[in-house]
Structure 1
Amino acid sequence: MLEYPITLVLLPGMDGTGSLFRPLIDQLGNGFDVRVISYPTEEALGYEALERMVLSSLPRGEPYILLGESFSGPLAISISAVRPPGLIGLVLCSTFAVSPRPAVTALWALVTAFPPRLAPTAAL
């Protein structure tokens, strides 16, 4: 039998911080024990590195639901496919199972070759 509240693990979209989940968390009240897994902002990581990071951050010894929003949808799908202990559900929110822009995906190696702090900025 499941005990309540269930843990809801939130994987953020492109911002990587999870701060955009605040309105959702406020509306959930005490219905869930919410955990947001934020991604590093000082380096660009690919899905494989992010998957390892998320897997090491998942709850241990308790049931949880994994929610992948936007960019994290494919990551959440991949993690649920390995069936980690405790995972009882998967929620996909405004996401895609494959890249909607394959040409951009082909350029990912170039993007990850340069640290974000070296990216050019537009002069206004």
Structure 2
Amino acid sequence: MKIIFLPGLDGTGLLFDRLIEQFPESWNYNVVSYNSIKAESYLGQAKEIAARINDKDIFVVAESYSGRVAYELYHLLSERVKGIVFLASFISRPSQIARLAKFLPVFLLKPNFLTKLILYLFGFNLSGDKGMVIKVFDSLQKSDKLKLRSRLYNIATMPKAARTIECPVTYIRPSTDFLVSSSAVKLLAPKSSKFNLVEVNGGHFIAQSNPAECAQIIRNAINHLNT
């Protein structure tokens, strides 16, 4: 079984490094970078990713932005998707204020004193390694800016999900997530026939600030498939 890692808004996949370090080297995995994806819509991105997957069985780990991509990918590949872990993610608009995401100037995603402070507050809950804030900005700077703009538009205009996910779903919920509302999580739960929510201490960038615990939850979800 291949594990497919789908990244957050930065889209590069570079922020998965600390998480992947927690897994055995023998794992068969692939980290998707949206820089290599031509499609702009959620469905288009999922179709392009699906076309690249030759493995019979896959397990999807979707961070933040990529929740809807994982949702669409499941409905394209159906029973080939054995399970999904959502990392502080969403399949419908994450909050009411997310409607404004399409108006966010990309230059505000460049590091300076104010933007680093805002990210440390809203992304990390003012706790943990401040160096991770720089890593997030470094990843954003390596992102294709036109595609980044498209991802912001997708978040702002995302319709509610209608279909159900039949494979096992685990949701890793940060204890303090300022970017994904509890209502967005509540919208995901009834769309999953087998839903398990696990709370982990930290802010929205939970895979970066608490990689060991997130990795253990992912391992547990995968191991549970074999029981």
Structure-2-length-normalised TM-score:
0.40
Change (3 A) 1:53 1:44: closer
Tell me which of 116, 119, 124 is aligned to 2:146: 116
Distance 1:54 1:42, change over 3 A: closer
Find the aligned partners of 1:14 and 1:53 in 2 and give their Cα distance.
18
**What pairs with 1:43-54 in structure 2 (closer than 5 Å)?**
45-54=40-49
State the Cα distance separating 1:31 from its structure 2 match.
5.3
- 1:38 paired residue among 33, 40, 59: 33
Q: 2:84 maps to what in 1? A: 90
Within the candidate set 51, 73, 80, 1:79 is matched to 73
CA distance in 1, matches of 2:22, 2:72: 28
Runs of 4+ in structure 1 deviating by more than 6 angstroms, as ranges, are 41-44
What letter matches 1:116 in structure 2?
L
CA offsets, 1:30-78, max 9 Å, x none? 35211011112797822132122211122x2432101111000111012
Counterpart amino acid of residue 67 in structure 2: G
CA contact (8 A) 1:16 1:41 kept: no
Flag structure 2 segments of 5+ consecutive residues without an equivalent. 107-144, 150-227
Change beyond 3 A, Cα 1:30–1:51: same
Deviations 1:71-124 (A, max 9, x none): 00111012113334632111111111211245237x48xx9xxx739x8xxxxx
The verdict on how the C-alpha distance between 1:45 and 1:7 changes in structure 2, with shifts beyond 3 A counting, is same
Contact 2:37/2:48 (<8 A) preserved: no
SS at match of 2:16: helix
Is the 2:2–2:55 Cα contact (8 Å) retained in structure 1? no
Identity of paired residues, percent?
Answer: 25
Cα RMSD (Å) of the superposition? 3.0
Partners in 1 of 2:39 and 2:55 — Cα distance? 31
Question: Which SS does the other structure have where 2:35 is aligned?
Answer: coil
